A = this chain, B = another copy of it.
Amino acid sequence: VSTITLTTDFGTGDWFVGTLKGVILGINPRATIVDITHEIPPGDIRGGAFALAASFRFFPAGTIHVAVVDPGVGSRRKAIGVQTANYFFVGPDNGVLSWALAKEKVNEVRALENKEYFLHPVSRTFHGRDIFAPVAAHLSRAVRMRKFGTMLKEFLRLPCPEPRRRKDGRIEGEVIYVDRFGNAITNIDASILADVKNASGKVLVGGKCICSTGGFYDSVARGKPVAVLGSSGFLEISINGGSAAKRFGLRPGTSVVVHL
């Protein structure tokens, strides 16, 4: 039993995602296909990279993760397949895989070149269907990595904004993702915060303290803000029963300072 996940900016309003699944099932009728999300904003490579990095490790070992946010489709950007200690990753070499790969031991990177494993004719606008889906399906049937193309030494890595500890001891980071609930997820992670669960920290945005740290959303009254160590392992600014992003105007890139 092989699982293939899909993370794309295709949306679910058209037939694109269904088509990918048809191609996969034509090659491996026993594949289990799981949607991570198809609502990455069109062309938002960082959004796709973050969604994949936040979710890939919850899948069983051997899972094949396909990510297609591919504004450069048809141009000379490479298509790659990557084998890590635990998973396979398939997608364009534009950085969309790189934040997940940064957390894994990378064993082998291959350019996807062998047309034998593509859907024909290969279009110039839909490599999700014609290259990435069929390659993933063949991987799920245990085709070896070396069959797909040349070994590569490198792949494109997106810069990942790192939080930093200032001289005054405060931690400075930024919002990296806003989720459906309006929680503003920052790049400030558990390791740098160490004991945020217990410490009474203050969170500052634009120089103003907007909330304290807490254990969970409902640890404050309804409508009140709190910063919790969220399920992805990052500090997130939330409002119990509301949208912190809307209330405080938070979006990816907004600077956040934590004062423990």
Which residues of A are at the interface with B, using a C-beta cutoff of 8 A? 1, 3, 5, 7, 10-19, 21-23, 25-26, 29-30, 32-39, 42-43, 51-52, 54-55, 58-60, 63, 71-75, 123-126, 129-130, 179-181, 215-219, 228-231, 240-241
Q: Could you say how many copies of this chain the assembly holds? A: 3
Residues in B whose Cβ lies below 8 Å from that of A35: 12, 17-18
Provided the pairs A26-B59, A35-B12, A42-B180 are in contact, do residues A75 and B1 lie with their beta carbons within 8 angstroms?
no
| Shortest beta-carbon distance from A100 to chain B in Å | 11
Q: Give me 7 A-to-B residue pairs in the complex whose CB atoms sit less than 8 angstroms apart, sorted by A's number.
A: A3-B22, A10-B180, A12-B37, A12-B39, A22-B63, A26-B59, A71-B240
- On chain B, the residues within 8 Å of A38 by CB distance are 12
- Across the interface, A74 reaches (CB within 8 A) one of B125, B216, B241, namely B216
User: Contact between A216 and B125 (Cβ–Cβ < 8 Å)?
Assistant: yes
Given contacts A12-B39, A71-B241, A180-B14, contact A22 B216 (CB under 8 A): no
Does the CB pair A60–B124 fall under 8 Å? no
State A75–B228 Cα separation when bound (angstroms): 13
A72 to B124, CA, bound (A): 40
A11's partner among B43, B180, B218, B240 (CB-CB below 8 A) is: B180
Are A241 and B15 touching (Cβ within 8 A)?
no
**Nearest Cβ in chain B — how far from A162, in angstroms?**
22
A43-B241 contact in complex given A1-B30, A59-B26, C-beta closer than 8 Å: yes
Nearest residue in B to A128 (C-beta to C-beta)? B231
What B residues does A73 contact at CB under 8 A? 216-218
Known interface pairs A19-B54, A23-B58; 12 further A-B residue pairs with C-beta atoms within 8 A, sorted by A's residue number: A7-B18, A15-B37, A16-B180, A19-B58, A22-B58, A25-B32, A25-B60, A26-B59, A43-B241, A71-B218, A73-B216, A123-B230
